[in-house]
Amino acid sequence: MQVEDETIPTQLIENRTPVERAILVGAPTREVSQRTAEEHLEELARLAETAGGEVIAVIRQRIDAPNARFFIGEGKARELRNLLNTTEANLVIFDDELSPAQGKNLEDLLGVRVMDRPELILDIFATRARTREAKMQVELAQLEYLLPRLRRMWSHLSRIRGGIGLRGPGETQLETDRRLIGTRISDLKKKLREVARARAVQRKGREGEFRAALVGYTNAGKSSLLRALSGADLFVGDRLFATLDSATRTVDVGSGHQALLTDTVGFIRKLPHHLIASFRSTLEEAREADLLLHVIDASEPDWEEHREVVQEVLADLDLTHRPQLLVFNKTDRITHEEEATLRARIRALENTPAVFVSALREESLIRVRDALKARIRSGLKEIRVSLPAGDGETLAALYREGEVLARRGNGTKVEVDVRLPAAFLGRLLGRDGIEILERV
Ligand code: GDP
Ligand code: MG
């Protein structure tokens, strides 16, 4: 195969142009409740549509454990083949991750392309990535997914490109491709490490500022909240994974305080672990945050399962130790009674503090601002400081860096009661003529 270095991966995994008619397959184990099983399939259908596919049928089977050859039972697999023969479907999507062997066996049996949920998510991510970093992260995840499945992908490709004298790749060609992909993977990892280092430097420059990160299930309203809180123009979409690139904005929380708020990629159940791994550096923002705002769609009946999925991903990223504030969003879509039920449920659940808001109702956002302000203040030292009356520079710094509570002057001296970040307090002590009168 003659392709240039930069284009190898994207060409190998290009699969979104044709309109695909898909059959979905859900094969949960017996412990999964009926409602949850259906919810998962509905979400898979949404994902398939997001990727440009059309769902024409859904097949279900309860399994004790995945079948080693086909994931579903062999009889069910043949039923699927019959269904394919009587419909126009040209794609089968499994809700669960298939092993490379299962994928290959199924394609051999069915004669159409077979995908699983992780691959579908990767495909959507590929069309959403905007920044160079996000593109590299998605490409890396795709290549790592692809590598053990190369043989299958190749036969799929050679079917598409049948006309150009490709009669199916020989072993040599496969080996060459494996090597090329291997090289590309280490290349991408190296570049991503460089980006991560640059990010770390950038973060260092923001030390001392209060930082919060928005995390949550996809479509919960994270970007909407960041936009509403900061007034920034950010992309919001009623579709899965509208945002892939993390954005950081300054949010005014009142009383002269500000917080840096970062939007992150949304989570979803069965998120491919390659993807989590490759998005690690984007999520570093969350790791160093003083507070995680865990956004939950209050109008979503399955919010508890969504919340668990988010917690699992956070655990995967080693982020569960960060303080959290639950932000129940979209309260404009629920009744007061439903909100009361929710509140009772949360109290019963645990001690994580929670606020109820709607990104569409500016006045409700004061609850988020207040919660942020309270956190910022709890990290502040309240002091009474005395400074020379002429020291306008220090006085301005106090207003800028802290929260001035009271100010008195007696001609030569000014006394200020102020809440200050500990780091700034240290710097203040070094100035001429400054006296700390009282620590509260
Ligand atoms: P993200 O994936 O978490 O970033 O979610 P988005 O901010 O992109 O929002 C997903 C969808 O929910 C969009 O259609 C938003 O307009 C909608 N949305 C977000 N917040 C609210 C809200 O408070 N109320 C209502 N009714 N819709 C909202
Ligand atoms: Mg978003």
How many Cβ atoms sit within 10 Å of the Cβ of residue 175? Answer: 12
Ligand 1 centroid to residue 238 C-alpha, Å: 7
pLDDT at 157: 54
Same domain, 361 and 420: no
Ligand 2 centroid to residue 223 C-alpha, Å: 4
Which residue owns the Cα nearest ligand 1 atom 2? Answer: 219
Q: Looking at residues 126-147, what average pLDDT do you find?
A: 85
Mean pLDDT lowest among 87-96, 398-407, 420-429: 420-429
Q: How many CA atoms lie within 13 A of 306 on its CB side?
A: 22
CA dist., res. 24 & res. 32, Å (int):
18
Burial class (CB in 10 A: 0-12, 13-18, 19+), 419: buried
Q: What is the CATH number of the domain that holds 97?
A: 3.40.50.11060
Ligand 2 centroid to residue 408 C-alpha, Å: 47
Same domain, 324 and 429: no
- Please report the atom of ligand 1 found closest to the CA of residue 329: 23
Same domain, 44 and 143: no
Q: Does 168 have pLDDT greater than 70?
A: no
The reply to whether 222 falls in a domain is yes
Same domain, 356 and 383: no
Q: How confident is the model at residue 267 (pLDDT cuts 50, 70, 90)?
A: confident
Q: Looking at residues 133-159, what average pLDDT do you find?
A: 78
Q: Which of 329 and 432 is assigned the larger pLDDT?
A: 329
Same domain, 176 and 307: no
CA dist., res. 173 & res. 184, Å (int):
16
Is ligand 1 within 6 A of the CB of residue 246? no
Q: Quick check: 130 and 244 in contact, CB under 8 A? A: yes
The reply to whether 91 falls in a domain is yes
Q: What is the CATH number of the domain that holds 398?
A: 3.30.70.240
Rg (CA), the chain: 27
Is ligand 1 within 6 A of the CB of residue 238? yes
Is ligand 1 within 6 A of the CB of residue 35? no
Q: Does 5 have pLDDT greater than 50?
A: no
Q: What is the CATH number of the domain that holds 223?
A: 3.40.50.300
Same domain, 191 and 47: no
pLDDT at 13: 47
Ligand 2 centroid to residue 17 C-alpha, Å: 24
Q: Does 8 have pLDDT greater than 60?
A: no
Mean pLDDT lowest among 121-125, 190-194, 284-288, 372-376: 284-288
Mean pLDDT lowest among 47-51, 65-69, 93-97: 47-51
Average pLDDT, the chain: 83
Of 332, 358, 376, the domain-final residue: 376
pTM of the model: 0.76
Of 70, 95, 125, the domain-final residue: 125
- Ligand nearest the Cα of residue 225 is 1
pLDDT at 431: 81
CA dist., res. 72 & res. 55, Å (int):
19
Ligand 1 centroid to residue 329 C-alpha, Å: 8
Is ligand 1 within 6 A of the CB of residue 243? yes
Is ligand 1 within 6 A of the CB of residue 219? yes
pLDDT at 435: 85
CA dist., res. 230 & res. 251, Å (int):
5
Same domain, 232 and 356: yes
pLDDT at 2: 38
What is the per-residue pLDDT across 202-234, written as a single tens digit (0 to 9) for each?
A: 777 666 788 899 999 989 999 899 999 998 666
Same domain, 346 and 231: yes
Same domain, 147 and 293: no
Same domain, 413 and 333: no
The reply to whether 423 falls in a domain is yes
The reply to whether 5 falls in a domain is no
CA dist., res. 83 & res. 76, Å (int):
10
Range of the domain at 430: 379-439
Same domain, 34 and 178: no
Ligand 2 centroid to residue 317 C-alpha, Å: 19
The reply to whether 352 falls in a domain is yes
What is the share, in percent, of the chain residues with pLDDT greater than 70?
84
| CA dist 190 → 183, 280, 422 (Å) | 11, 14, 37
Q: Quick check: 98 and 71 in contact, CB under 8 A? A: yes
Angle made by CA atoms 337, 338, 342, in degrees to the nearest 5? 120
- Please report the atom of ligand 1 found closest to the CA of residue 236: 8
Q: Does 105 have pLDDT greater than 50?
A: yes
Which residue owns the Cα nearest ligand 1 atom 6? Answer: 221
Q: How confident is the model at residue 400 (pLDDT cuts 50, 70, 90)?
A: confident
Q: Does 166 have pLDDT greater than 80?
A: no
Of 202, 221, 240, the domain-final residue: 202
Q: Quick check: 221 and 243 in contact, CB under 8 A? A: no
Which residue owns the Cα nearest ligand 1 atom 14? Answer: 238
Mean pLDDT lowest among 33-37, 204-208, 255-259: 204-208
Number of domains in the chain: 4
CA dist., res. 32 & res. 25, Å (int):
15
Q: How many CA atoms lie within 13 A of 362 on its CB side?
A: 4
CA dist., res. 117 & res. 97, Å (int):
6
Same domain, 195 and 332: no
As a three-state string, the secondary structure of the chain is: CCCCHHHHHHHHHCCCCCCEEEEEEECCECCCCHHHHHHHHHHHHHHHHHCCEEEEEEEECCECCCECCCECCHHHHHHHHHHHHHCCCCEEEECCCCCHHHHHHHHHHHCCEEEEHHHHHHHHHHHHCCCHHHHHHHHHHHHHHHHHHHHHHHHHHHHHCHHHCCCCCCHHHHHHHHHHHHHHHHHHHHHHHHHHHHHHHHHHHCCCCEEEEEEEECCCCHHHHHHHHHCCCCCCCCCCCCCCCCEEEEEEEECCEEEEEEECCCECCCCCHHHHHHCHHHHHHHHCCCEEEEEEECCCCCHHHHHHHHHHHHHHCCCCCCCEEEEEECHHHCCHHHHHHHHHHHHHHCCCCEEECCCCCHHHHHHHHHHHHHHHHHCEEEEEEEEECCCHHHHHHHHHHCEEEEEEECCCEEEEEEEEEHHHHHHHHCCCCCEEEEEC
